[in-house]
A = this chain, B = another copy of it.
Amino acid sequence: MRSLEGQLHRCAINTATLGHREPLAKTLDRIARAGFGGVAPWRREVEAIGAAAAARHLRALGLTVTGYCRSAYLATCDEAERRANMSANIKALDDAAELGAQCFVLVVGGAHGVKGGLVGARSQVHDGVAELYLEARKRGVPLAIEPLHPTYASDRSVVNTIRQALALCESVAPGDNAMLGLAIDVYHCWWDPDLASSIALAGQAGRILGYHVCDWLADTQDRLMDRGMMGDGVVDLPGFRHLIELAGYRGMVEVEIFSEQRWWKVAPDEVLSVCADRLQSAC
């Protein structure tokens, strides 16, 4: 496995890592100046300046867009919410196409409040991915389903393992790995007893569209907002990347850290500097 030392051009920063504290243009400048090759911006940042302006800025800086974050939920409480979310997602696909994003990241929604609970939500998600897939194909923007940690099954995502996401891909778009795949995040998947075989299967299917890193802190304080910097937690990050690359993934390594109490209070350039160090020493 290649080390990431001197390979920051193969690494990307998800803008959530900086806490969304500044306008996108400023954030992109910092990321490019720090030597990273890619970025994953969020909808609200892009929409604030318009996708065309964001795309011009990205091209000028030579940054690859590893993913566009993220879908409105596909599992919803009622039909009105479902339609509103689908519209928002189709608009986001237009923007993702303009940005040249390598994928549009799908966070599918949780079971709470959905008719039929977990089972109903999973059924809605299947139908929602199928509908969005047709729109994504028209625009040439791959969809990347991100399985979230099981702790989010109620409130954020009823797709909770790599294998489950893979089955969903095969059901909705059998054979079309160019347009429907997975974003695999170590935070969500590191615990999985089937991790090695699941990643291998995803790789054989050619469906690994993104790879996200951070760390799981041993004394994690919050289900959402306390992700760790790479190397500060319990995840075997080199081992995980070995599996991902063995499975054929050649894309970027994207850092995504939600950390309200720690890293979002540190100056953005300092966060980027630590990310660069840790990508090269702990991933």
Contacts and interface: CB of A to CB of B under 8 A. Distances in A.
Contact of A151 (B219, B223, B235): B223
Nearest to A119: B236
A193 interface: yes
Given A112-B234, A190-B118, A236-B118, A151 B154 contact: no
A192 to B, nearest CB: 8
Contact of A111 (B150, B192, B219, B234): B234
A234 B164 CA distance: 20
Contact of A191 (B150, B191, B223, B233): B150
Contact of A193 (B160, B190, B217): B160
A189 B159 CA distance: 14
Interface string A98-122: 0000000000000111000111001
Contact of A118 (B111, B117, B119, B234): B234
Contact of A150 (B112, B150, B233, B235): B150
Nearest to A155: B218
A115 B59 CA distance: 46
A216 interface: yes
Nearest to A121: B234
Interface in A154-187: 154-155, 158-161, 163-164
A236 B150 contact: no
A236 B117 contact: yes
Contacts of A118: 190-191, 234, 236
Contacts of A119: 236, 239
Contacts of A43: none
Most chain B CB atoms below 10 A, which of A159, A161, A193: A193
Given A118-B236, A193-B164, A234-B154, A218 B112 contact: yes
Interface of A: 111-113, 117-119, 122, 149-151, 153-155, 158-161, 163-164, 190-193, 216-220, 223, 233-236, 239
Given A154-B216, A160-B193, 6 more contacts: A117-B235, A118-B236, A150-B191, A153-B191, A155-B219, A160-B192
Shortest Cβ-Cβ A-B pairs, 10 listed: A153-B191, A112-B218, A164-B193, A150-B191, A151-B151, A154-B234, A150-B150, A117-B236, A112-B234, A111-B234
